[in-house]
Amino acid sequence: EPEVTQTPSHQVTQMGQEVILRCVPISNHLYFYWYRQILGQKVEFLVSFYNNEISEKSEIFDDQFSVERPDGSNFTLKIRSTKLEDSAMYFCASSGGRVEKLFFGSGTQLSVL
Protein backbone atom coordinates (compact mmCIF):
# COMPACT_ATOMS: atom_id res chain seq x y z
CA GLU A 1 0.00 0.00 0.00
CA PRO A 2 1.29 3.52 -0.71
CA GLU A 3 2.69 5.45 2.24
CA VAL A 4 2.93 8.97 3.54
CA THR A 5 6.49 9.69 4.62
CA GLN A 6 7.42 12.14 7.35
CA THR A 7 10.84 13.45 8.31
CA PRO A 8 12.42 13.73 10.75
CA SER A 9 10.92 11.16 13.08
CA HIS A 10 12.16 13.15 16.08
CA GLN A 11 13.00 16.84 16.33
CA VAL A 12 14.36 18.57 19.41
CA THR A 13 14.49 22.36 19.40
CA GLN A 14 14.92 25.27 21.75
CA MET A 15 11.99 27.51 22.59
CA GLY A 16 11.78 30.40 20.16
CA GLN A 17 13.47 28.53 17.30
CA GLU A 18 11.87 27.83 13.95
CA VAL A 19 11.18 24.26 12.90
CA ILE A 20 10.06 22.77 9.60
CA LEU A 21 8.36 19.41 9.56
CA ARG A 22 8.40 17.64 6.24
CA CYS A 23 5.96 15.26 4.62
CA VAL A 24 5.78 13.48 1.29
CA PRO A 25 2.12 12.67 0.65
CA ILE A 26 0.95 9.94 -1.68
CA SER A 27 1.69 11.09 -5.20
CA ASN A 28 -1.79 11.31 -6.74
CA HIS A 29 -3.51 12.67 -3.66
CA LEU A 30 -5.11 16.10 -3.70
CA TYR A 31 -5.96 16.85 -0.07
CA PHE A 32 -3.33 17.31 2.61
CA TYR A 33 -3.60 17.68 6.35
CA TRP A 34 -1.60 18.29 9.47
CA TYR A 35 -2.75 16.96 12.81
CA ARG A 36 -1.05 16.92 16.18
CA GLN A 37 -1.30 14.75 19.24
CA ILE A 38 -0.04 15.96 22.57
CA LEU A 39 1.06 13.06 24.76
CA GLY A 40 -1.95 11.27 26.18
CA GLN A 41 -4.44 13.51 24.41
CA LYS A 42 -6.58 13.26 21.32
CA VAL A 43 -5.60 13.80 17.72
CA GLU A 44 -6.25 17.47 16.93
CA PHE A 45 -6.85 19.00 13.52
CA LEU A 46 -4.47 21.80 12.56
CA VAL A 47 -4.96 22.56 8.88
CA SER A 48 -6.15 21.20 5.55
CA PHE A 49 -4.68 22.15 2.18
CA TYR A 50 -6.21 21.76 -1.25
CA ASN A 51 -5.53 23.28 -4.64
CA ASN A 52 -2.40 25.02 -3.34
CA GLU A 53 -4.12 26.87 -0.56
CA ILE A 54 -5.36 26.40 2.97
CA SER A 55 -8.93 25.12 2.82
CA GLU A 56 -9.54 25.10 6.56
CA LYS A 57 -7.61 25.69 9.77
CA SER A 58 -8.24 25.33 13.46
CA GLU A 59 -7.85 27.92 16.18
CA ILE A 60 -4.57 26.23 17.10
CA PHE A 61 -3.16 27.16 13.69
CA ASP A 62 -2.26 30.76 14.50
CA ASP A 63 0.21 33.13 12.84
CA GLN A 64 3.14 31.08 14.13
CA PHE A 65 2.16 28.23 11.83
CA SER A 66 2.36 28.03 8.06
CA VAL A 67 2.14 25.30 5.44
CA GLU A 68 3.61 25.01 2.01
CA ARG A 69 3.72 22.64 -0.91
CA PRO A 70 6.84 24.02 -2.52
CA ASP A 71 7.54 21.55 -5.29
CA GLY A 72 4.45 19.45 -5.93
CA SER A 73 5.66 16.55 -3.83
CA ASN A 74 6.62 17.83 -0.39
CA PHE A 75 4.17 19.29 2.11
CA THR A 76 5.73 21.20 4.99
CA LEU A 77 4.57 22.61 8.30
CA LYS A 78 6.60 25.50 9.68
CA ILE A 79 6.43 26.77 13.23
CA ARG A 80 8.16 30.16 13.33
CA SER A 81 8.87 30.57 17.03
CA THR A 82 8.27 27.39 18.96
CA LYS A 83 6.73 27.34 22.42
CA LEU A 84 6.91 24.66 25.07
CA GLU A 85 3.27 23.80 24.42
CA ASP A 86 4.06 22.98 20.78
CA SER A 87 5.69 19.77 21.98
CA ALA A 88 3.61 17.00 20.41
CA MET A 89 3.54 14.31 17.75
CA TYR A 90 2.72 15.92 14.42
CA PHE A 91 1.02 13.78 11.81
CA CYS A 92 0.74 14.51 8.13
CA ALA A 93 -2.11 12.91 6.18
CA SER A 94 -3.32 12.90 2.61
CA SER A 95 -6.37 11.67 0.73
CA GLY A 96 -7.43 11.28 -2.84
CA GLY A 97 -10.86 12.81 -2.40
CA ARG A 98 -12.86 15.08 -0.13
CA VAL A 99 -14.46 12.32 1.91
CA GLU A 100 -11.95 9.58 1.52
CA LYS A 101 -9.65 7.48 3.62
CA LEU A 102 -6.90 9.52 5.20
CA PHE A 103 -3.45 8.03 4.85
CA PHE A 104 -1.31 9.05 7.82
CA GLY A 105 2.42 9.23 8.15
CA SER A 106 4.19 7.81 11.18
CA GLY A 107 4.58 11.26 12.69
CA THR A 108 7.29 13.63 13.84
CA GLN A 109 7.80 13.85 17.58
CA LEU A 110 8.61 17.49 18.31
CA SER A 111 10.16 18.33 21.66
CA VAL A 112 10.55 22.00 22.55
CA LEU A 113 12.97 22.63 25.43
Partner 1 sequence: AQSVTQLDSQVPVFEEAPVELRCNYSSSVSVYLFWYVQYPNQGLQLLLKYLSGSTLVKGINGFEAEFNKSQTSFHLRKPSVHISDTAEYYCAVTTSGTYKYIFGTGTRLKVLA
Between CA 15 and CA 30 the distance in angstroms is 33
Do 82 and 17 contact (CB within 8 A), yes or no? yes
Among 30, 50, 64, 66, interactor with partner 1 by CB under 8 A: 50
Among 11, 58, 66, 76, interactor with partner 1 by CB under 8 A: 58
Residue count, binding to partner 1 (CB under 8 A): 24
- Is position 25 an interface residue for partner 1 (rule: CB under 8 A)? no
Nearest to 110 by CA among 36, 17, 10, 29: 10
**Contact positions toward partner 1, by CB under 8 A?**
4, 31, 33, 35, 41-45, 48, 50, 55-56, 58, 91, 93, 98-99, 101-102, 104-107
